[in-house]
Every structure is written in C-alpha cells, then in structure tokens.
Amino acid sequence: MTRNIDLALATYLPRKPIPGFGVLDISITNVRARLGDIDIYMHVNNSKYLAMMDAARSNMIADMGGMKTLNTLGWYPVVAASSVKYRASLRLGQKAHIETRVVGWDQRICYVSQVIKRDDVVYTEAWIAARFLARKGPKPSPAQVLEALGSTMDSPPLADDMRLWADAAGVLFREKN
C-alpha cells in the first residue's frame, strides 16, 4: 500500500525539475526497503521492486519538469511489457537507488531501462515498454509527449537486444499493411 502512495506522490506532488535534465539523461531515485516490502523469506518481494520502479519513472518525468504538464493534459504512463532480472536481494532497512533512463521510442512505445543498485552492486535490472494513455481523447504518441515536454528530438536507434526483446514481447511497432 505505501508504494502506491509513493507513486501517487511522485505523480501528483512531483519533485522539483532538474535544470537542463534531458529525455536521455539518467534519473536517480533513492529507496529503502520497508517492512511492507519484505516477504516471508525476509527480503524484498519481487513485486515491490516493480512498484519502486513505477515511482522512479514518474520521478524521471518530474526531473524533466513534465509531471504537471502531463497531469494537466490528462496523459499518464503505463507499462505495456516488462522483463526483470533479480540478481541480489534487498533486506529490511537497506538503502538503494534506482537509475532510470529512456533508451528510445517508436510511434507507440517508450523503451526504458531501470537498474536498482546498492553500493554499486546491481540488485535488479528491468526493461520496460511504456506507453501513454489519455483520460480523454486519443492516446498520445511518445513524440507528442516529448513535444508537450518541450523536446522534438528523434529517438536514438534501439540496441539490437532491446529491439529483439520488444519484438518477442509483441510491443515493437510495425507499420500496418
């Protein structure tokens, strides 16, 4: 429940923008393993890492100065697909940070890499295929979202492994014939 509150705060009371923060920059979100994150095996449950990453993606948008703009437009990010590797376990009270970065986008999907680290050790890695929905009207494309945030840059080419994953996950954009 408290991780949902973290997401709500990151979305509706976003942190202050970072001057000069760009769409391809790495956003850092600090986290701590809480009692509600811990499962019967005495480590952070896999689902809690995903909830931490949800708030970190909203923080990345806030770092660009975009959460208020998206909220005003009624646009919000959702996960279309994800793939996660768990490499080590966070325990109660341990601090870590999440590195979130956009690696590219197509006409529908924004591809995001997220890594949870503690003391420079990778605990969790995730690839996220995110898209934006609208409370009213059509779904905005990543290009429309970027334009609303003041950027008109083109996507860098997706790395081959990310492209293969997106294709296998069924989210890679294909022109309709």
pLDDT, residue 168, reads 96
CA 119 to chain centre: 21
Tally the C-alpha atoms within 13 A of residue 142's C-alpha that lie toward its C-beta.
Answer: 21
Q: Give 68-118 pLDDT, tens digit per residue.
A: 999 999 999 999 999 999 999 999 999 999 999 999 999 999 999 999 999
Given a cut of 80, whether residue 175 has pLDDT beyond it is no
pLDDT, residue 123, reads 97
Q: What is the largest CA-CA distance in the chain?
A: 53
Looking at residues 165-170, what average pLDDT do you find? Answer: 95
pLDDT, residue 177, reads 62
pLDDT, residue 15, reads 96
Cα dist from 68 to 25, 36, 50, whole Å: 19, 29, 23
Mean predicted lDDT score pLDDT of the chain: 95
Q: Give 32-63 pLDDT, tens digit per residue.
A: 999 999 999 999 999 999 999 999 999 999 99
pLDDT, residue 52, reads 97
Return the SS3 of 56.
helix
What whole-number distance in Å separates Cα of residue 77 and Cα of residue 61? 10
Residues in the chain, overall count:
177
Given a cut of 60, whether residue 1 has pLDDT beyond it is no
**Are residues 166 and 111 in contact, defined by beta-carbon separation less than 8 angstroms?**
yes
| Strand arrangement of the beta sheet that strand 110-118 belongs to | 27-32, 95-105, 110-118, 121-134, 75-86
**Secondary structure element (H or E) that encloses residue 9, with its range:** helix 2-12
Say whether domain 2-166 belongs to CATH 3.10.129.10: yes
Q: What angle do CA 82, 164, 149 make, to 5 degrees?
A: 60
pLDDT, residue 176, reads 72
Given a cut of 70, whether residue 149 has pLDDT beyond it is yes
pLDDT, residue 24, reads 96
**N-to-C CA span, the chain:** 45
